[in-house]
Amino acid sequence: MRSPSCSFTTRAGARHERGRACVPRAQCGLLELEIWPYAADDLVALCRGSIEAIGLGATFKMKGAVASAFDKAPPLPSDESQATVVSWLLQALRDCLPDSKVIAAGHRVVHGGRLFDRAIVIDDATMAALADLIALAPAHQPHNLGAIHAVAAAWPGLPQVACFDTAFHFGQPRLARMFGLPRSLSEQGIVRYGFHGLSYEYIASCMSDAAGIGPDQRVVVAHLGHGASLCAIRDGRSVATTMGFTTMDGLVMGKRCGMLDPGVVLYLMREKRLSVAEVDKLLNERSGLFGVSGISDDVRDLEASSDPNAAEALDLFAYRAAREVGSLAAALGGLDALVFTAGIGEHSASMRARICRLSAWAGLVLDDDANAAHRTRISVPGSRVGAFVIPTNEEIVIARAMRTLAL
């Protein structure tokens, strides 16, 4: 094993004497902080760590090549605020990897609005612009910016890079981004932005090598996790996607409702007398798989359940995903490949089978044995539409941007 040197991200960078980079990823909206140390010279991941349940009795875990170095990390602070946890993490890097020098930090930032079409080095003007976007992603953006502030406070002068979940979709055709609203509202930024862009950027960069999918092929990528969306990709670019102005749109998700007639919102407020906050909580935290099943927001729990409501929730998830495959195929002018990724997409053979069978109209023929074995190609030879499973890696996208911009 090479001697350690590192840089880090919060989805951040550190450097050892041999130029290693260490990338932490912050998912503080999930009360979780992940750290991914990478070698700055070749971006090989050294280990992966997480701080879970921040504010609720946080626990720290680390695994991988240099994980044992963190056995001597001091106890987590009793004050489990985002700032103190990030400060603790940076001090742990100093203490546990004493030969390392942190040289940059990279962050996943959910919303880049209409300003940011690529990763950027963060400065005061950037932070002010991103703060203006909090209203577009109130459940995510404050935590993303909080991590940046925490790193700046704990390590003044450290270069920081922001990578945006919206940036990959920035170049979509204008019609794909528009709502049927008055033009004045579109000009104020009420348009379809799309999300999960770091995941889609990674899949677009590797699907030729991983699955033999050519750049000219018409591909729908299904990022299926607790948050879920689909993206139509051709020539390495986003053509259309299911998420829109917010992360609530599109597919049924773990606890989010997905696509919804806006009249339902008006009805809930007018007839059921729900407040804005109550509607927000209903649509973001009490709907989706959790709301339909009444059991769980986790596909694994629902697949193990004999409750018919669990089965119906899974059927709805698959139906909505397959229906949107058809929508995105129309945007592409056809369909050559369907790629599954993220937690559910990578690990649930049952859900993949449901969606593939509902997509048989396109000429997709599932190979049941390959699917059960979680192989890369899960469609039969000769299937007109190929089906594939490619694990995503949003962290490496951030690490690459960090190396390009800040190292």
Query: Quick one: how far is CA 281 from the chain centroid?
Result: 21
Q: What rounded mean pLDDT belongs to the chain?
A: 88
pLDDT at 18 over 70: no
Residue 177 domain flag:
no
- Whether 249 and 160 share a structural domain: no
Residue 195 domain flag:
no
pLDDT (tens digit per residue) in 223-260: 999 999 999 999 999 999 999 999 999 999 999 999 99
Q: Structurally, how many domains does the chain consist of? A: 2
Mean pLDDT for 186-196 is 96
pLDDT at 141 over 70: yes
Residue 44's closest CA among 394, 391, 396, 390?
A: 396
What was the pLDDT predicted at 2? 37
Phi–psi pair at 8, nearest 5 degrees: -145, 160
State the pLDDT confidence band at 371, using cuts at 50, 70 and 90: very high
Phi–psi pair at 315, nearest 5 degrees: -60, -40
- Whether 35 and 134 share a structural domain: yes
pLDDT at 27 over 90: no
Q: What is the CATH number of the domain that holds 331?
A: 3.30.420.40
- Whether 240 and 103 share a structural domain: no
For the chain, give the number of residues.
Answer: 407
- Whether 96 and 227 share a structural domain: no
pLDDT at 137 over 90: no
State the pLDDT confidence band at 28, using cuts at 50, 70 and 90: very low
pLDDT at 199 over 70: yes
Q: Where are the beta strands (DSSP E) in 66-197?
A: 100-109, 120-121, 160-164
- Whether 11 and 159 share a structural domain: yes
CA dist., res. 379 & res. 382, Å (int): 8
Q: Which of 132, 165, 301, 369 is catalytic?
A: 165
Residue 293 domain flag:
yes
CA dist., res. 174 & res. 191, Å (int): 10
- Whether 238 and 342 share a structural domain: yes
Residue 405's closest CA among 106, 14, 35?
A: 106
- Whether 119 and 15 share a structural domain: yes
What was the pLDDT predicted at 105? 85
- Whether 138 and 264 share a structural domain: no
165 labelled catalytic? yes
Q: How far apart are the first and last CA of the chain?
A: 22
What was the pLDDT predicted at 77? 81
- Whether 356 and 275 share a structural domain: yes
CA dist., res. 6 & res. 65, Å (int): 13
- For the chain, what percentages of helix, strand and coil (3-state, to nearest 5) are there? 40, 20, 40
Residue 169 domain flag:
no
Q: Which domain holds residue 302?
A: 213-389
Residue 193 domain flag:
no
- Whether 221 and 140 share a structural domain: no
pLDDT at 6 over 60: no
Residue 239 domain flag:
yes
Residue 352 domain flag:
yes
Within 212-339, residue ranges assigned H as helices are 262-270, 276-285, 288-293, 299-304, 308-332
Mean pLDDT for 102-117 is 90
